[in-house]
Amino acid sequence: MANSKLLALSSSIGDYLKAIYLLSLEGQVSTNALASQLGISSPSVSGMLSKLQEQGLIDYERYKSVKLTPKGEREALRLLRRHRLIETFMIEYLNYSWDEVHEEAEALEHSISDRFTESLAKLLRYPTHDPHGDPIPNADGGLPDTPNTPLTELEPEQTLLVSRLVTQDDAVLRYLANLGIQPGSSLKLTLLEPVGGLLHIVLDGNHQVISKEMASLIRGEVQT
């Protein structure tokens, strides 16, 4: 199988590739951003980047931004597919709540086979998005479209149909779930405070106030 060699990549290499991929969706990937995403020091990140470069997984020059090669991106998407299918399975079949699944999926994504992954996809009826609203890459690495406008970009009186929450932080997900904010929610921005950046929103007829930082994690499609 073409993937058998990549399957043998250590889980930490896979975690680097995924982190680079996810950061690249938000802009250029610096060594520092990568270090803070992975929770390790910049010097150890540099060492690992040289290793990834040798294996043809990334393009990297010191002090410049890090880019995945097509091979590196394929591997990142393969892991993301596994991760998001596992999370969907845990929620739909094992009664986990959506704020409880991330750690377990991080561990399992490295140990299941392609065959297991595709059986899971079939069982779940080939979902296009996971319960956080994140797109699940398909088996050939393509990504389903996902609206991605942050709540912070709305004008007052505009409404956002939430498609995803871009965080894996359990506490943040729990907080948003308690407010009733999840994929499928519809949020109307009523007021943006001129100082401090608090956003006043209406959700199911209830007024809520959230920080700009929290609002930047809430993505979706502006309703017209």
- Check the CA dihedral 119-124-130-132 and report its sign: negative
Residue 169 Cβ vs Zn ion, minimum distance, rounded to whole Å: 10
User: Taking contact as CB under 5 A, which single stretch among the options 8-16, 73-81, 98-106, 196-204 is the one that binds Zn ion?
Assistant: 98-106
Residue 58 Cβ vs Zn ion, minimum distance, rounded to whole Å: 22
Sketch the per residue contact string, 41 through 80, with Zn ion: x for CB under 5 A, - otherwise.
Answer: ----------------------------------------
Which of 102, 152, 173, 181 is the binder for Zn ion (CB under 5 A)? 102
Instruction: Compare residues 39 and 43 and give the one whose CB is closer to Zn ion.
Output: 39
Distance CA 90, CA 2 (A): 28
Decide if residue 81 touches Zn ion (CB under 5 A): no
Per the rule left: phi > 0, alpha: psi between -120 and 50, beta: everything else, 141 is: left
Q: How remote is the C-alpha of 108 from its chain's centroid?
A: 17
User: Taking contact as CB under 5 A, which single stretch among the options 17-25, 100-108, 110-118, 156-164 is the one that binds Zn ion?
Assistant: 100-108
Helices (H) and strands (E) in the chain, counts: 9, 8
Among candidate residues 53, 44, 51, 45, the one with its CA nearest the CA of residue 71: 53
Name residues contacting Zn ion, limited to 141-180 (CB under 5 A).
168
Q: What is the largest CA-CA distance in the chain?
A: 58
Which residues are near Zn ion by CB under 5 A? 102, 168
